Amino acid sequence: MKTFSIKTLGCKVNQYESQLIRENFLRNGFKETNGPNSADIYIVNTCTVTGRADRESRHLVRDAYRKNPGAKIVVTGCFAEKDSDVISKLEGVTDIIKNSDKIRLISLVTGCAALSTSNFITDFKDHSKAFVKIQDGCSNFCSFCKVPLVRGEPQSRALEEIKSEVKSLLDSGFQEIVLSGVCLGEWGRGIGKGFDLVNVLEEIENFDAQFRIRLSSIELKYITERLLNKMASSGKVCRHLHIPLQSGDDRILKAMNRPYTRKEYVDSVRKIKSFIPEVGVTTDIMVGFPGEEEEHFANTLDTIMQCGFHRIHVFPYSKRKGTKADSLPYNISYYILKDRESKIKEAERELSYEYRKKFLGKQAMVLVEEKIEKSTQLLTGYTDTYIKVLLKGPDSLKGKLASGKISRIDHNYTFFEI
């Protein structure tokens, strides 16, 4: 029996596409192995959002060839989309597959066009929740971002396809569906006038099953009163929004080509909290964008405090070839970057504690994760507002929604009792 293995880097969309590739191989009689050592076909689904992602992609290819020089090494994903010339020079690479060809990757790699393929998934390996890709592409062209260059114009997946896939995943036992896209809020483009994310939520929230729906990262301009009303009134949609901020300084935001000012962002978060008082708001922050001085960073810290994010993904600026920011002078030292990251993480720690305290003693529904917290050996899970909790219970709870209450909170952990 022929074998294959997949390694995935990057976003939820990439993870979804790897699951699609996986199911197409399994459908055609291939056996999945763990890692490249014994795989006949080793697939690296790459990311190019940062320079670090590029380096990791190259490392995975080199490592696979070192461990199994006889394997077919197939490279796909966003790094492969724009830098195929770089990848083609790596020893051992046999195939480079574009993002748009992932659905027929198995046919391209094996040379057999008659193989059965599908653009639906029915499972999500090693995940307690299932990601459903409903959209691809981006046209925002932030000055630091390469994604529009490798993902193209926004495209919306047909509503009936989304419904069918969600139904299949619910039938497989998943109790949290995460709607995902490269630019999630663009869903509806090409579908018809007036269509937006709320149409998707309305179509899938009425399935007869115990489950909830989470939105993945969404840009501020797509968060409408219509969407907030749906989140507030639905019993299925998680009260959580991940809204990338990137910077809290107007000059830096303008240089980034972000479509809002600091005040507009803060006012919007306050409005969101007025619609949904206990909503969890999380974000992305970039440190070290070209020209970011201490005063600009101080504005970012102040914005963070005003918004009250309880979870922040902070990362350093990375020069990306082909972007507008790539031509800007850059001289921010590693030590300054680490110091700014540290200050943001310190702010996050305090804001998270203050936010989580509001839920002490309250009832909550938690999706229990596959992972165990190493330091405590307890099960982990997430509330609908995206608070990570620790709990005791049998392994049979993994992947299931569990009802209970927040029993104890400290600066490091939130404890949950069933």
CATH, residue 229: 3.30.750.210
Domain boundary among 215, 238, 261: 238
Strand partners, 131: 178
**Both 205 and 233 in a single domain?**
yes
**Both 129 and 212 in a single domain?**
yes
**Both 163 and 128 in a single domain?**
yes
CA distance 231 to 239: 7
CA distance 297 to 291: 10
**Both 94 and 133 in a single domain?**
no
What CATH number corresponds to the domain at position 90? Answer: 3.40.50.12160
CA distance 307 to 288: 21
Q: What is the DSSP string of 33-63?
A: -SSSTT-SEEEEEE--SSHHHHHHHHHHHHH
CA distance 326 to 143: 8
Relative to beta strand 414-417, strand 93-96 is: unpaired
**Both 106 and 141 in a single domain?**
no
Domain count within the chain: 3
| pLDDT by position in tens, the chain (length 418) | 799 999 999 999 999 999 999 999 999 999 999 999 999 999 999 999 999 999 999 999 999 999 999 999 999 999 999 899 999 999 999 999 999 999 999 999 999 987 889 999 999 999 999 999 999 999 999 999 999 999 999 999 999 999 999 999 999 999 999 999 999 999 999 998 899 999 999 999 999 999 999 999 999 999 999 999 999 999 999 999 999 999 999 999 999 999 999 999 999 999 999 999 899 999 999 999 999 999 999 999 999 999 999 999 999 999 999 999 999 998 899 999 999 999 999 999 999 999 999 999 999 999 999 888 888 899 999 999 999 999 999 999 999 999 999 999 999 999 999 9
CA distance 159 to 237: 17
Q: Does 246 fall in a domain?
A: no
Q: Does 389 fall in a domain?
A: yes
| Inter-CA distances, 222 with 136, 152, 154, 277, Å | 15, 19, 14, 20
